[in-house]
Amino acid sequence: MTKLMGPRLFEVEQESIAPIPADARHGRSRELFTIWFGMNMTPLTVVTGATATTLLGLPMLSSIIAILLGHVIGGIGMALHAAQGPQLGVPQMLQARGQFGAKGASLIVVVAILMFVGYFSSNLIVSANSITELAPGLSGTGMIILCAVLSFVIAGFGYNLVRKVTELGAYIVGVLVLVSFVVLFLGGDFWAALTHGTFTWTGFFAMLAIGIVWQLTYAPYVSDYSRYMPANSGQRGAFWGTYLGCVTSSALLMVLGAGVGLAVTEADTMAGLHHILGPVLGAVVLVGFAFVAAAGNSVNAYCSALCALTLVETFVSGWRPRLKARLVTSLVLHLTGVVLALAATTSFASSYFSFLSVLLYILIPWSAVNLVDFYIIRHGSYAVDEFYAADGGRYGRWNAGALIVFGIGVLAQIPFMSTPFYTGPIATAMGGIDIAWLVGLTVSAVAYLAIARLAPALVRLHAGSTEPDLITE
């Protein structure tokens, strides 16, 4: 294991989207646990959890059940993507070329970039708000820029420093969260409000869906970190390390957020947490959250840069981006995230809730196609070198079958959608209950499996052939 101040920690990463060589592979499943445990230790997770008892008006027990179920279910799909990393050694969005074709995958890559930048901006806003809550005289704009600079420096060094900073954040905020729970439970406001709220199936399924989409939004880049794991470490370690770290931390902080939302009347969740903890302890917790969130935001920045490089490489044949390209791309994305954060502060809560809803409907079909292709159709066997071929190699430029299924999966969800800007007819008939995620997952998985079996040429499988692709580097 790399020591905290070891020579590799501050060694600038030279790799970007090329396959990770065998002699550069390192890490263990325990390190994946700390990466993803620390990744969720942010104010944004607490704010999202407060949605259950504030915007959705659920009682505490119902909120806990919905939060836990959502993360447990969504985490399965997310961790299955993580398990692909050690075997293929490439970023997740580049591996999507194996299902959608070289240019077809670019459609999914664009969605992923929008998602990463959106989460990056959201973390900037909530981190800055945590600091300005303590010192109202400080400039919110200045704090957003400061948080972005910290993220850029960490992401610039690359994988090793991003991993270690996130791991360190897991320990720091983990202790602060436990202290916050103790103080919350000792306070009378929480217990007095424990029975407040009204259970509705609409609210329950909305919070369930938030938990699922929270996990699935990590799916497009979980293997960006597991790709450095040794190939012989196996899929099992990558799956459980990622699953337990991500699900445990996100569920824990969302339950804390739900409790805070129930116990206080402040519109701002982090202000409410500060009120519960008191001036001194509250200041320590908010500063800790803000620092870890700003540093941990480098995870979004690092992966968004890999996605952007993948997108450009799709249309620039033979280009192999290295350090300079990664740094320039990261800088552009950071500037974009800052601009979005500054523009969104006035309507952050409603915009973010809508943002989560839209992501769910787009990510579900992609995830279903990817997982069915990897685990059922090709059994994890791909010709990795051909991901970089100008014509897409055996996977082609466009994979008609996968793109058709993706479109079917998105369309199938429309009647079941329940969002702030649109509610489908079936969701309306069900009283606003949103099960679009379940419909999209099922329809996409079954449709892709059917096409692969009945018309294998549509997904670029040779009919009647049982010979798998070869994993090459």
Q: 3-state DSSP call for residue 435?
A: coil
Please state, as a whole number, how many other Cβ atoms lie within 10 Å of the Cβ of residue 315.
Answer: 10
What is the number of residues in the chain? 473
pTM of the model: 0.85
Tokens read off for 144: 């957003």
**Per-residue pLDDT at 385 exceeds 50:** yes
Give the percent of the chain with pLDDT over 90: 28
The stretch 123-139 carries a mean pLDDT of 79
Q: pLDDT by residue (tens digit) across 51-102?
A: 999 989 999 999 999 999 999 999 999 999 999 988 898 888 888 999 999 8
**Per-residue pLDDT at 348 exceeds 70:** no
Scanning the structure block, which residue is given the tokens 């990056």? 120
Q: pLDDT by residue (tens digit) across 278-330?
A: 888 888 888 888 888 877 788 888 888 888 998 888 888 778 888 888 999 99
279: Cβ contacts below 8 Å, ≥ 6 apart: none
- The pair phi, psi for residue 16, each rounded to 5°, is -135, -90
Answer for the pair 172, 294: CB distance below 8 angstroms, yes or no.
Answer: no
Q: Alpha-carbon distance 84 to 80, whole Å? A: 7
Scanning the structure block, which residue is given the tokens 């942010």? 42
Answer for the pair 335, 145: CB distance below 8 angstroms, yes or no.
Answer: no
| CA dist 178 → 166, 175, 182, 184, 283 (Å) | 18, 5, 6, 10, 15
| CA dist 378 → 3, 276, 466 (Å) | 38, 53, 9
Q: What's the pLDDT at 233?
A: 67
Q: Alpha-carbon distance 382 to 326, whole Å? A: 26
Q: What's the pLDDT at 354?
A: 67
- Of 2-6, 338-342, 375-379, minimum mean pLDDT range: 2-6
Task: For residue 366, name the pLDDT band (cuts at 50, 70, 90).
Answer: very high
Cα 130 from chain centroid (whole Å): 22
Q: 3-state DSSP call for residue 196?
A: coil
Q: What's the pLDDT at 228?
A: 83
377: Cβ contacts below 8 Å, ≥ 6 apart: 448, 449, 452, 459, 461
Q: Alpha-carbon distance 255 to 260, whole Å? A: 9
Domains recognised in the chain with CATH numbers: 32-349 (1.10.4160.10)
**pLDDT, greater one: 454 or 269:** 454
Q: Alpha-carbon distance 360 to 194, whole Å? A: 30
Q: What's the pLDDT at 357?
A: 65
Please state, as a whole number, how many other Cβ atoms lie within 10 Å of the Cβ of residue 422.
Answer: 11
